[in-house]
Amino acid sequence: MGEITEALRRAMAERGEDFWRDVEGIPLTAEWWREISEAIEKSDNFIFVISPDSVGSDVCAREIGQAVSNNKR
């Protein structure tokens, strides 16, 4: 998965676009969802990379819900 998202990040950087992704894992603290949620809210677009793990993840489902509720492309 890391190779795919890294290639996507490089391609977007070449176009001058910012790209945020959770590379090292956001620590599971009281602030973790706020950090993810704010990143989604501030973004222009939301890209969900489908993998067996991401499809089955409750957190990923929550991220998609946040993106939908904020009308992200």
Q: What is the dihedral of CA 64, 68, 23, 18, to 10 degrees?
A: 160
- Whole-model pTM: value is 0.78
> What's the pLDDT score for residue 20?
77
More reliable by pLDDT, 1 or 35? 35
User: Which among 39, 38, 40 is positioned nearest to 64, based on CA atoms?
Assistant: 40
What's the burial of 63, exposed, middle or buried (CB within 10 Å: 0-12/13-18/19+)? buried
Is the predicted pLDDT of residue 1 greater than 90, yes or no? no
Of 49, 45, 35, residue with least CA distance to 70: 45
| Mean per-residue pLDDT of the chain | 86
CA distance 10 to 32: 25
